Amino acid sequence: MKKAAFLGLGVMGYPMAGWLAKNKFDVTVYNRTLSKAQKWTDEHRGALAETPEEAVKGADLVFMCLGDDPDVAAVANAIAGAVSTGAVVVDHTTGSPALARRLHEAFTEVGAGFVDAPVSGGQAGAENGKLAIMCGGDGAHVELARPAMKAFGARIVHVGPAGHGQLCKAVNQICIAGIVQGLSEGVHFAARSGLDIEKALEAISGGAAQSWQMDNRARTMASDEFEFGFAVDWMRKDLRIALAEARENGARLPLTALVDQFYADVQAMGGGRWDTSSLIRRLTDVD
């Protein structure tokens, strides 16, 4: 049985680690807030560690799903001296390509592999074990981690060298930003028109306007529910990464920059932890 460590039991990490345990990996979890790790071990087969260093000792595979770059850098720094030679560290956090390249070098120096492997598919994708995973790093390390990632991933693509998983995730977020604003405007317009939202969604989700956001978020947008899912604070982090990268590579992202400012409005409304579909609140709150 392969030994795996999972560091970070948030909205995403908690169910992802659960899938590893269900797929017969010998899992040790670590979470900064200990109570979440205790809850996890109450519900799953696996052990709990009180520090990241302790969690990764003897692990063949180390998974992280944390918040932002400084969080990943701090945890990576803590485990660098404790990971086994030959272990592969897989980072599922959405972070910057520059940090991914730096960590690839740092773990190579201590005889371990590093794969940047951000995910897409949201809370539901993690809970259903159906995430899309975009990997950057050495092919051999991706293949070592693939059987474990299959526990929670429906599509696992080795996109390119270190940092390319994160670059691919930036593309994912650029694509999503405009779609969520468009869907917000559509749902808002439907409500103002007095349309039956269920009937309208049933009709248009069978046509060219269909999207993951429409299937998974339009109804909760219409009923003003946002206490779940993918936090606005994290989306702003992702758009910051995409916009910074665009300044380097010369890509023009006018819509992404605009939607980033819209999300700043949602943060100012107190919605930092609301799901990203709360973009519609900018339209409805003036009513």
Ligand X SMILES: NC(=O)c1ccc[n+]([C@@H]2O[C@H](COP(=O)([O-])OP(=O)(O)OC[C@H]3O[C@@H](n4cnc5c(N)ncnc54)[C@H](OP(=O)(O)O)[C@@H]3O)[C@@H](O)[C@H]2O)c1
Active site residues: 169
**Looking at beta carbons only, is 35 or 85 nearer to ligand X?**
35
In degrees, rounded to 5, the angle at the alpha carbon of residue 264 between the alpha carbons of residues 261 and 269 is: 135
Q: At what angle do helices 254-268 and 164-193 cross, to 10 degrees?
A: 70
Burial bucket for residue 150 (CB in 10 Å: 0-12, 13-18, 19+): middle
Which ranges of 5-60 does DSSP label H, i.e. alpha helix?
A: 13-22, 34-43, 52-56
Determine the 3-state secondary structure of 28 from DSSP: strand
The minimum distance between CB 196 and ligand X, in angstroms, equals: 29
**Looking at beta carbons only, is 93 or 256 nearer to ligand X?**
93
**Looking at beta carbons only, is 10 or 113 nearer to ligand X?**
10
**Looking at beta carbons only, is 217 or 282 nearer to ligand X?**
217
Q: Distance (Å, rounded) from C-alpha 8 to C-alpha 12?
A: 9
Please report, for residues 12, 111, 160, 215, the alpha-carbon distance to residue 170 in angstroms, rounded to integers and kept in the order given: 18, 29, 14, 22
Determine the 3-state secondary structure of 116 from DSSP: strand
**Looking at beta carbons only, is 28 or 93 nearer to ligand X?**
93
Phi, then psi, of 63 in degrees rounded to 5: -110, 140
The minimum distance between CB 207 and ligand X, in angstroms, equals: 26
The minimum distance between CB 202 and ligand X, in angstroms, equals: 25
User: Taking the CA atoms of the chain, what radius of gyration do you get in angstroms?
Assistant: 20
> Is residue 30 within 8 Å of 36, Cβ to Cβ?
no
**Looking at beta carbons only, is 175 or 203 nearer to ligand X?**
175
- Across the strands, what pairs with 159? none
- Across the strands, what pairs with 135? 158
The minimum distance between CB 241 and ligand X, in angstroms, equals: 10
Which runs of E-coded beta strand occur in 47-87?
Answer: 47-48, 61-64
Positions touching ligand X (CB under 6 A) are: 8-13, 31-33, 36, 65-67, 71, 74-75, 93-94, 119-120, 122-123, 229-231, 234, 238
